[in-house]
Structure 1
Amino acid sequence: MTLSPRIGVVIVTMGTRPRELEALLASVAKQDVPAARVVLVGNATSLDDVSTDVLGAAGTPGATEVTKVPLTENLGCPGGRNVGLELLRDGGGADGEEVDVVVELDDDGLLIATDVFREVRRQFAEDPRLGIIGFRVADEQGRTERRWVPRLRAGDPMRGGPVTAFLGGGHAFSMPMLRQIGLWPGEFFFGHEESDLAWRALDGGWEIRYVPTLVLQHPRTSPARHAVYYRFTARNRVWLARRRLPVPLIPVYLGVWITLAMLRMRSVTGLKAWWGGFAEGIRTPAGERAPMSWRTVWRMTRLGRPPVL
């Protein structure tokens, strides 16, 4: 990777959070290292009402090229992000040079510091095997929920370093890594797409690094607010196991998560949807099977999270 990696940004929106999106774009524009390019993908939305004036007029010093990509259908979060990633991967930067790093941000997130891109660029420039940087997600009061910490021991959200997972709301990818391992599993639509990509990255020899000083402010919400949450969570766990785990670990992984899901379930409707999704994951094609090596299993175990938890 170059000494000064060029940064691209991908944001996917359904057009339902216009104020939050405008604030996010403004926070991108305030970065002291400007992005080479910003791609806005509209999942089943035209983006006609989205203003990009906050990123500067074309041709002015420090202005960022913004590309709007309206989609006629909702491809889900991973599918929409893939549209943006493919555009940056195949189209390069504004002046024809390649984008080396891609930052992906939730449309209701906010970069509260102005040096996020500078630090992202520095870390990728210094470590050619760094594949993914995970940001710390915090609410408006600066609090990070345990489920937002990509470790099993989540008591200290400020403990950074190598991990086996990352949050989809705010992160940065190495473009060379994406060229090697591929993009998001678009067929997942919602849920566990981060695990699929993270496991492929680790199996490809890349590092995932949690950097808690890089903060994405995000409102506290429950993933169960999505109507498809229980169904897709169960289905995608089965698909994930069938695609990425060595055969002996598949029943162990599914057994662990069946137990945890049943212990945590508080809704009869959710229970029915969960088991429906689990059955769907068993009977439908999971996609190409490419299980991780036992070396990767051991690497993840040494990092504190074996791929059965």
Structure 2
Amino acid sequence: MFFSLIVPTLGRVAELRALLDSLTRQSLTTFEVIIVDQNGDDRLVPVINDFMNRLNITHLRSTVRQCNHARNIGAGRAVGDIVTFPDDDCVYTDNVLQTVSRLFADAGRPDFITGSVLTLEGRPGKSGRWHPVETAINSHNVWTCLIEFNFFIRRTAFNAAGGFDEGVGPGTDFGSAEGQDLALRLLEGGFSGRYLPTLHIMHPDKPLALTTARAYSYGVGMGHVMRKNHVGMTTMATFLLRSVMGSLVYLLRGDIPRARYYLLTFLGRIRGYLSLRAGAVTPAPATG
């Protein structure tokens, strides 16, 4: 099984080097790395040159600074059976690709596989509330079973779904949930997904100040994607209640920054769901 790892990158150099270094230690070596460089200079050239003899790297340029646009560009050049989209500040544990290859070949043969997060120090990540057990993915649990950098998809399914929606995600008004949007469209198209909490990719936790600054935009993205994909009101209500309760709990504890984070998340989810633009964005077709 051959993998295409598509890495949109902007502004990070040392982090990309760490990712590429981790890829040189993969126990499965049948993969390509497609770097979609959104920088306006050559800062990545020395890093890429350092790994050219150790990894199968394609270096693409994009003048558009938008993550899903870069992902779709990379997917259009991919030749792998499986496409995946590591962040430029991820680190792969040594057996990630070998594990995923085996999972795709196991009984059930899912069309996409997701996993969870460890910090760079090897602790469980704080990026969301994770589903505790292995499960088939559906429209209710996809919100706790998926993060974009640990999302492996058969390329035929990715293309059939139309790739990532370039109107959603970082760099747009709807700042998150682009992975859930793609997964929901895959499910709607008859494809199946599997989540394994023990399938880890390492990623740094973001500081609370940064996550709070993004909370409203991320909430807007989630609400928008829920409405766009006609997610049931029970699911929407569940996640609204979680953000409200989170805000109240931290307010009572006197933790104002975290209370503010959950309040902004709640307001964003409401705004995204009620947006007149919700449902108006169509996925950009992937090629290749």
Tell me by how many angstroms 1:39 deviates: 0.9
**Identical aligned residues as a percent:** 21
For residues 194 and 79 of structure 1, the distance between their equivalents in structure 2, rounded to whole angstroms, comes to 13
Pick one of 82, 89, 111 that aligns with 1:101.
Answer: 82
Question: Pairwise mapping of residues 60-139 of structure 1 onto structure 2 (< 5 A)?
Answer: 63-75=54-66, 77-88=67-78, 92=79, 99-113=80-94, 115-126=95-106, 129-139=109-119
Residues 186-226 of structure 1, C-alpha deviations (whole Å, 9 max, x = no match): 21123111221222222333332233443312222257615
Which fold has the larger relative contact order, with Cα–Cα distance below 8 Å and residues 6 or more apart in sequence?
2
Residues 164-193 of structure 1, C-alpha deviations (whole Å, 9 max, x = no match): 432222231111211222212221123111
How many residue pairs are counted as aligned between the two chains? 260
Q: Is 1:206 paired with 2:186?
A: no
- Check 1:47–1:244 CA distance in 2 against 1; reply closer, same or farther (3 A cut): farther
Residue in 2 that maps onto 1:6: 2
For residues 49 and 56 of structure 1, the distance between their equivalents in structure 2, rounded to whole angstroms, comes to 12
For residues 21 and 125 of structure 1, the distance between their equivalents in structure 2, rounded to whole angstroms, comes to 30
2:196 partner letter? V
1:26 partner letter? D
Tell me by how many angstroms 1:46 deviates: 3.7
Tell me by how many angstroms 1:137 deviates: 1.4
Query: Contact 1:238–1:281 at 8 Å: present in 2 too?
Result: yes
Secondary structure of 2:36's counterpart equals: strand
Q: TM-score scaled to structure 2, two decimals?
A: 0.75
Residue in 1 that maps onto 2:274: 282
- Check 1:257–1:161 CA distance in 2 against 1; reply closer, same or farther (3 A cut): closer
CA-atom RMSD, angstroms? 3.2
Q: Is 1:37 paired with 2:32?
A: yes
2:134 partner letter? G
For residues 124 and 136 of structure 2, the distance between their equivalents in structure 1, rounded to whole angstroms, comes to 19
Question: Pairwise mapping of residues 146-295 of structure 1 onto structure 2 (< 5 A)?
Answer: 147=127, 150-151=130-131, 154=132, 159-163=133-137, 164=142, 165-189=145-169, 190-222=175-207, 225-226=210-211, 229-245=214-230, 249-250=232-233, 252-265=234-247, 266=256, 271=263, 275=267, 278-279=270-271, 282-287=274-279
For residues 272 and 213 of structure 1, the distance between their equivalents in structure 2, rounded to whole angstroms, comes to 31
Gapped regions of structure 2 (runs ≥ 5): 170-174, 248-255, 283-288
- Check 1:133–1:283 CA distance in 2 against 1; reply closer, same or farther (3 A cut): closer
2:277 partner letter? P
